[in-house]
Structure 1
Amino acid sequence: MSSKDQFDSFMNGSSQDLPTSVLEEHFSPDTLGAFNTEQFSRLSQILARNDASTDLKSTILSSAIKYLRSNSKNDQLKQGSQALKLVLRILTSENYKLDNGTLDNLASVVALYANCQDDTDVTSQVVMVLAKVIELNASHAPAALSSAMEDLLLNDSISSVSTAFALLTLLFHISPQIGQNLFSMDQLHNINPRHFQSERVTVSALEALSAACVNKECRSVVAVKFQDVVAEALKSEKTPVKLLAAAILIKTKAVSETNTKGEDTKAILDLSELLEDYVNDYDNRVDKYYTIALEGLAYTSLLTQVKKRLIARPNTLKALVSVVKSHYTKSPWVYCALCILTNLTEYPPALTPEQLRMRQLKDYAGKAGIESDREPAEDVRARCKLVFDTSIVGIISQVCQKFTTASKATSGSLMRNLVTDKTARKDFAKQGGIAALLYFLLPDSGLDAKQTAITTSALAKTFISVDPSIALSSKISPLVPVGPLVEQLSVDASDIPLLDIFEALLALTNLAAVDGSSRDAIVSKAFNKLETLLTSSNRLVQRASVELVCNLSMSMLCAEKFLDGSGPAKSRLDVVALLTDAEDEPTRIAAAGSLAVLSEWGGLAAQELVKSDRVTKGLVKLLSDSNKDLVLRAMVTLKNIAEGNQIAELVKIDGFVDSLKKLQSGNSDVASLAKQVLQLTD
């Protein structure tokens, strides 16, 4: 069969495949005009072999652009899906170079398809093509897209203006910087007002303005240049138009630095009711506009009054949970729903006196923004319980692997809020909360330092109250949470670093009680940080550090840090000995306990302990302390040292024997130990 016959056979459908060489020989710029869907698909498969020449790719791309432009003129935009897929196949082919001229031509025609919002297939192809051209030629893409946008606006028809706004919306989602650049175009701010009498233009414009509100500078432009358009849209009887307008006004007012707690807040509360009603009506939703309502509510739910209204409507909570459970592939929905739930459960931060004064000044100056009023913790705790009772933790643990990075971060904040109440922690673990947190904390999860600190805080809070050996399933080793908890010991990104460090220490202390491998892992990863924290100026952090050392001292790796006879080891022993005389009594008990555990390591341990005057004299001093727990720990340590063939050294210490004689009377554990040691002195 000749090459021409092969090509004709491919064109009429008799053949499903075609050698690339034959395609190169007979393909012409007009060929695509006769293609059907099946032929487009087969041509795309041929290009996927990556053996087509650069000339053939250029010819097919030019033909596809011509085909797309022709369809756009004939108002057959929905038929462009297959050609767009072909364009994308070429753009994603190996080592493809997109020159400026081709980019200009491609941008001008792809822009024409930006407003096919009723055809998700076409829209998704447009998004992928735009994203790819920006990637392939980042330096020229802004100019090419600006030119395409300008052409649409200069056309000055209802269709072209609507398409220009639709293109802007897509670009804000693909490349916020390019979107911001195009939003500053003078032509966009001087559109003929009569165009906004068209619902098509109004909706397209409002969607673009809503997308633009992600940027601070763009929000200012929206508030000034488009206030009349938004205000008029708010009067509309059409729900989609009114929802969009409400969402835009909320975004511009909610984050305004000039927002007060007077008129603007009242306006936001009124607008929020419209969004609340729409979110509440989950079963009768229209997906496109449900997104708008969720986005707006993610802002207004920062307000205390909105929180109270939302929590009082059980169907709203049910709707938000249903979004997370059933629509986890729709990332904007899930992210917004999680933001709302997080806002509902957010405890007011503990303010330092300086922060409190600054807040009062902001309130006085009218610059507090949409910042929530400080609520009593009891009110927040009650809301947390209602949210927790929806089984949201179990749902997140089931679907979190489908989450975007933003949804993971927000889930971490939500879970931190929910486990702030100690009574919820056991059920939190049962519902799979720990597994979800550990998934969010994987190295490749994409969380930034602050988000990681918040998520780790939730993990620490849980392990403080729930026995790790019970909380961790058979599939999760107790070694897994050690890494993130150790990282928390040197956290810089946290708003409450001392609290986060303190809670991480407590969690690690509980993990250290699980088994030897857990203790060894903690010593290997955390000891350098822990050694620094032993001398912390914060009383609670220092106490928790000593308590962790006490548990870790059962590990040979930890014991070596204190008992290997080196200079650093001797210094560490001296530090622990000094802490037995600290002002904080729990710290003293933990330090004495650490020495007692270290003394269990036999004769070599006894030799090293007795070499330290601070250790031995400190222990003898504890024998006369009023705290029986301290006396017992000191007595255990001295007995172990004595049994390690070091009794002769102990006898030399002033007051040692006299203290033992005073303690030997009675039937207590201390009296029994004192008698045993006294016998060794004979």
Structure 2
Amino acid sequence: MVTTNEERAVHLAREAVELGDAGHREAAARNIREAISLAPHNPEVRSAFDKVRQEEQGSHHLLDRCRRYAAGLDEEAGKDAVRYLRTDGLKPPEDVALECLQLLLAHDPATLSAHQDEIISGLVRQNASVRKYFATQLLASVTAFFDEIYDRGDGAAVCLDTVVLDPSVWPSDDDRAHCESELFQLFIAKLMESGHDLDGRSLKGITRLLAVDAAKLQHLVDDEGLDVILCSCDSRLPLEVRSQATLAVAKYLDAAKESGEQRLSHLLAARIAKGRNDDLIIAFSALTAVFPVAPSVTAALFLSDSLLQSLRPLASRAAKSRRVEETVLELLNAACIDRTCRQAVSRDFSDWLSHLLTNGCDSSSELAAVVLAKLRASPQDQGTTAASSDPNHGKVLEEDSVPELVERFKGLMSRRNKKVTVENLHHAIEGLAYSSIKPTVKEQLVQDAGFLGDLIAAMQANLTDSSVLYGGLMILLNVTAFLPALSEEQKKMSQLKSYANANGPGGGITDPLDDDDHVLSRCQAVVDAGVMPLFVECAKSPLLPSIQDLVSKVLLALSRNRATRGTLAQQGAVRLLVTLATIKTTTGAAPVGNVTAAAAAAAAAPVNAAAAHALARILISVNPMHVFPPSGFPPITSAIRPLVSLLASQGSSASASGSGNGNGAVFAEQSRDLLPVFESLLALTNLASYPDETAAAAIVRQAWATVEDLLLSRHTLVQRAACELVCNLMTSEAGIVQFADGSKRAAQRLHILLALTDVEDAATRKAAGGALAMLTEFDAAVAAVLERPRGVELLLALCADEDSDLAHRGVVCVRNLTCTAGGDIGSRARQAVRLAGGVDILRTCLQRTRNPAVLQAGVDALRPLIE
């Protein structure tokens, strides 16, 4: 017999109570733990848990474990307490939680293991009484309680932030704000004195408070405070420390505005002016970290005469310090996100970079290659580079040309290269992310199947490394991106812009390597390389919004190729796209590293539209039964909401990476807006044919109002697709009711269908005729036809059409009027057909046709008219 999880949980809970009563406490504990994991919210299970966990003296299980852990240093008891607080559905009583906290705080932090940090964090997370206790202690003395908590662990220190940011546990907001300010200053003081031992902990506190309340706290950051945060950007420190420091600076600058930028510039300029290696490394590291965060202020500082003059002697073949050399290279790499800075780097440092490419150490050589790749990827900068007065400059350009750099990066990523390191992989991917903007490089990459395999393998091996994942996806996006479809007017505007930019008349001409045929071929190569399993693997863990966005856009491009849609569906694309399309759009931080200048913007971009559009394309070409089996997952209804969202949204962002004119030049100026709408209608039409009426009912429920509007669209293909969807919905009760429930609104809808039988587009007329052929089986629909002045004439016009398919639909409609309709409605229908000349029209149709189905229907329709 199959039982549900909740039934099994209740059975285990009852057994646990019996075992506890019999004295078998260990067995009872095992049973109740399993029961609470299966059904944490079931009342009987929770009641049994409370009973089993009571000791003979009435002591709570968690309290007992905390006592044994704190007094007896019992590590197993500590682990059990942590497990309890992590178990979903378990929450200790408020008095028990507070007593557990006080037990731990009664012992010196150094005498307890790291479990104390997790226990305190869990208690603060779950219990208001513990948070109020924190607030009371902070009100009494922020400094004393800070010292009491800080050394107990990262989680405990973060709890201080949690409490001062929770207004519900404070007597007044003034008290809360006072303690928040004091706590913020203590974190900065701790950062100054820690000597980087616990910078990650103090920086987390600073960053968290600035992230939530920077406007109220930024005035507390003086020169000394900002300088110590900038020192934590030192490239010699661990990545976690640098990331926290960068985020703290970003939040501060966002709140302090111009005064903060001036303070930042002053502090960095002062360190650079000292000229000592340590100060230079700190200043250049901070400038590198802050460049993507505040490009305007950092670009101005980079372009200042004092900084460039300090860089030039360091960027020479006589430079002594390798660490300073690498820091300068990292700064040049970061500066390339700004066009003016990029031109300055090209002008002043390209010769040195080219020298390092062949003569530097491994790390310097790879960084120099990345910077040169960024310079070569910018056409407007190449003229600046070529203007060098160095007589050997032509040789330099030849040695570090883009194809050579690309081959170098590919070698760094090769699985055959035994010396590949994570740092080299970062450099290679970053360089290729920029180089792959060029059409020649796109072809160079996809023609090497081994490279595509290496790239996908590198991403699969580093799924938790956002720099590798983001950079690799940028390469795939560059390789697979289609040019947007432009109307004639848009093409002319593009040419005018190219003239204005002094590029000449050829400036607006696209590279032949970026035409649809070449991009389709590249998409095929990427699918063949096995990219879909990578995307499925990515989705098994939470993704940054920027990563979700790139995966969606790459899949949108890949789904453009009809030949590979089946392969994508077989490999899990539909389930993945349903997930991506229904993720709530959020804003996230840009990935670590300088992969692209648009990283921050990409992180905030919505993924829903691109994923929904890709889903629509795939569902146009596959059998819904193969993708959504009746007893399988996901259910077919899960795909409907994303598709419906495209009908209401006509923004160009949804199709920007794949909205070429795959269906002919039919969308004119609005192609990028209407293509998602058109393809979504086609996909919904396919889903409406699903044998189970669940899909059709969901489409009617969620999309009917929008589909009605699209039936009146001025765009022929959109109108046709909407009419075909309505036709398919007529196989379901939910669809028929919209036209045949006898209401005035239903009659109006049927009048629209009748009008569509008279439009120029034959396919639209067929769809409308097919829908009417099914609807006129119902008396209410027949009555609505009779109420329209030309209703019967329009149906007879279908019968008279030379197109056999249209004639068939018309004859079936007339047969329904003359044979199926009963009572008074049937009599009126037969009379209306006679008066409209239906007998002659039907006879002519029968004489002309050779289609047995038309002949049979026509004979059936004529018989009641002539008897």
- Normalising by the smaller structure, the TM-score range is 0.7 to 0.9
Moved more, 160-169 or 491-500: 491-500
Match status 1:395 vs 2:534: yes
**Whole-angstrom distance in 2 between the partners of 1:533 and 1:54:** 54
Q: In the TM superposition, what is the alpha-carbon distance from 1:485 to its structure 2 partner?
A: 1.9
Match status 1:492 vs 2:611: no
**Whole-angstrom distance in 1 between the partners of 2:844 and 2:312:** 98
Q: In the TM superposition, what is the alpha-carbon distance from 1:487 to its structure 2 partner?
A: 2.8
Q: In the TM superposition, what is the alpha-carbon distance from 1:286 to its structure 2 partner?
A: 2.2
Moved more, 623-632 or 667-676: 667-676
Q: In the TM superposition, what is the alpha-carbon distance from 1:228 to its structure 2 partner?
A: 6.1
**Whole-angstrom distance in 1 between the partners of 2:611 and 2:212:** 40
Counterpart of 2:157 in structure 1 is: 44
Counterpart of 1:517 in structure 2 is: 694
Matches within 5 A, 1:296-307: 296-307=431-442
Counterpart of 2:428 in structure 1 is: 293
AA in 2 matched with 1:658: D
Query: Quick one: which of 312, 317, 324 aligns to 1:193?
Result: 312
Query: Quick one: which of 823, 846, 853 aligns to 1:669?
Result: 853
AA in 1 matched with 2:831: E
Counterpart of 1:423 in structure 2 is: 563
Query: Kindly tell me: are residues 535 and 449 of structure 1, through their superposed partners in 2, closer, same or farther at Cα, counting changes over 3 Å?
Result: farther
**Whole-angstrom distance in 2 between the partners of 1:191 and 1:672:** 94
Match status 1:542 vs 2:719: yes
Residues 292 and 334 of structure 2 are in contact (CA less than 8 Å); yes or no, is this contact kept in structure 1? Answer: yes
Moved more, 642-651 or 543-552: 642-651
Match status 1:460 vs 2:616: yes
Matches within 5 A, 1:329-408: 329-350=464-485, 352-353=487-488, 362=498, 365=504, 368=507, 372-375=511-514, 377-400=516-539, 401-408=541-548
Matches within 5 A, 1:108-507: 108-117=227-236, 119-131=238-250, 133-134=252-253, 141-176=260-295, 179-180=298-299, 182-183=301-302, 187-191=306-310, 193-196=312-315, 197=319, 198-224=321-347, 230=353, 233-234=356-357, 236-257=359-380, 267-280=401-414, 284-350=419-485, 352-353=487-488, 362=498, 365=504, 368=507, 372-375=511-514, 377-400=516-539, 401-446=541-586, 452-472=608-628, 474-489=632-647, 490-493=649-652, 494-495=655-656, 496-507=672-683
Identity %: 28
Secondary structure of 2:584's match? coil
Q: In the TM superposition, what is the alpha-carbon distance from 1:649 to its structure 2 partner?
A: 3.1
**1:419-464 deviations in Å (ceiling 9; x for gaps):** 2222211221111101221222125134878864443332111111
Matches within 5 A, 1:15-26: none
**Whole-angstrom distance in 1 between the partners of 2:365 and 2:726:** 61
AA in 1 matched with 2:427: I
Residues 257 and 369 of structure 1 are in contact (CA less than 8 Å); yes or no, is this contact kept in structure 2? Answer: no
**1:99-139 deviations in Å (ceiling 9; x for gaps):** 52444332111222321435334334433543554577667
RMSD: 4.3
Query: Kindly tell me: are residues 637 and 131 of structure 1, through their superposed partners in 2, closer, same or farther at Cα, counting changes over 3 Å?
Result: same
Residues 243 and 289 of structure 1 are in contact (CA less than 8 Å); yes or no, is this contact kept in structure 2? Answer: yes
Query: Quick one: which of 586, 596, 602 aligns to 2:773?
Result: 596
Query: Kindly tell me: are residues 652 and 250 of structure 1, through their superposed partners in 2, closer, same or farther at Cα, counting changes over 3 Å?
Result: same
Query: Kindly tell me: are residues 550 and 50 of structure 1, through their superposed partners in 2, closer, same or farther at Cα, counting changes over 3 Å?
Result: closer
Query: Quick one: which of 199, 220, 223 aligns to 1:104?
Result: 223
Residues 117 and 123 of structure 1 are in contact (CA less than 8 Å); yes or no, is this contact kept in structure 2? Answer: no
Secondary structure of 1:274's match? helix
Structure 2: gaps of 5 or more residues: 1-103, 121-132, 165-174, 387-396, 587-601, 657-671
Moved more, 40-49 or 148-157: 40-49
Q: In the TM superposition, what is the alpha-carbon distance from 1:157 to its structure 2 partner?
A: 1.2
Residues 433 and 472 of structure 2 are in contact (CA less than 8 Å); yes or no, is this contact kept in structure 1? Answer: yes
Q: In the TM superposition, what is the alpha-carbon distance from 1:472 to its structure 2 partner?
A: 2.8
Moved more, 640-649 or 541-550: 640-649
Secondary structure of 2:269's match? helix
**Whole-angstrom distance in 1 between the partners of 2:581 and 2:562:** 22
Residues 207 and 245 of structure 2 are in contact (CA less than 8 Å); yes or no, is this contact kept in structure 1? Answer: no
**Whole-angstrom distance in 2 between the partners of 1:532 and 1:340:** 40
**Whole-angstrom distance in 1 between the partners of 2:204 and 2:752:** 69
Secondary structure of 1:440's match? helix
**1:54-83 deviations in Å (ceiling 9; x for gaps):** 888877866765665467xxxx65675555
Residues 616 and 679 of structure 2 are in contact (CA less than 8 Å); yes or no, is this contact kept in structure 1? Answer: yes
Residues 747 and 781 of structure 2 are in contact (CA less than 8 Å); yes or no, is this contact kept in structure 1? Answer: no
Q: In the TM superposition, what is the alpha-carbon distance from 1:384 to its structure 2 partner?
A: 2.6
AA in 1 matched with 2:504: A
Counterpart of 1:10 in structure 2 is: 108
Query: Kindly tell me: are residues 375 and 62 of structure 1, through their superposed partners in 2, closer, same or farther at Cα, counting changes over 3 Å?
Result: closer
**1:247-300 deviations in Å (ceiling 9; x for gaps):** 22332442344658x978993333333223223356532222322221221121
Moved more, 628-637 or 59-68: 59-68
Q: In the TM superposition, what is the alpha-carbon distance from 1:321 to its structure 2 partner?
A: 0.7
Q: In the TM superposition, what is the alpha-carbon distance from 1:399 to its structure 2 partner?
A: 1.5
Residues 143 and 186 of structure 2 are in contact (CA less than 8 Å); yes or no, is this contact kept in structure 1? Answer: no
Query: Kindly tell me: are residues 366 and 353 of structure 1, through their superposed partners in 2, closer, same or farther at Cα, counting changes over 3 Å?
Result: closer
Moved more, 447-456 or 642-651: 447-456
The TM-score normalised by the length of structure 1 is 0.83
AA in 2 matched with 1:250: A
Residues 50 and 93 of structure 1 are in contact (CA less than 8 Å); yes or no, is this contact kept in structure 2? Answer: no
Structure 1: gaps of 5 or more residues: 1-5
Query: Kindly tell me: are residues 162 and 258 of structure 1, through their superposed partners in 2, closer, same or farther at Cα, counting changes over 3 Å?
Result: closer
Moved more, 92-101 or 468-477: 92-101
**Whole-angstrom distance in 1 between the partners of 2:311 and 2:779:** 93
**Whole-angstrom distance in 1 between the partners of 2:107 and 2:688:** 73
Residues 13 and 39 of structure 1 are in contact (CA less than 8 Å); yes or no, is this contact kept in structure 2? Answer: no
**1:530-555 deviations in Å (ceiling 9; x for gaps):** 33433444433332222112112345
Matched positions, count: 669
Query: Kindly tell me: are residues 258 and 204 of structure 1, through their superposed partners in 2, closer, same or farther at Cα, counting changes over 3 Å?
Result: closer
AA in 2 matched with 1:397: V
**Whole-angstrom distance in 1 between the partners of 2:737 and 2:564:** 39
**Whole-angstrom distance in 1 between the partners of 2:455 and 2:792:** 63
Query: Kindly tell me: are residues 334 and 606 of structure 1, through their superposed partners in 2, closer, same or farther at Cα, counting changes over 3 Å?
Result: same
Q: In the TM superposition, what is the alpha-carbon distance from 1:674 to its structure 2 partner?
A: 2.7
Residues 751 and 784 of structure 2 are in contact (CA less than 8 Å); yes or no, is this contact kept in structure 1? Answer: no
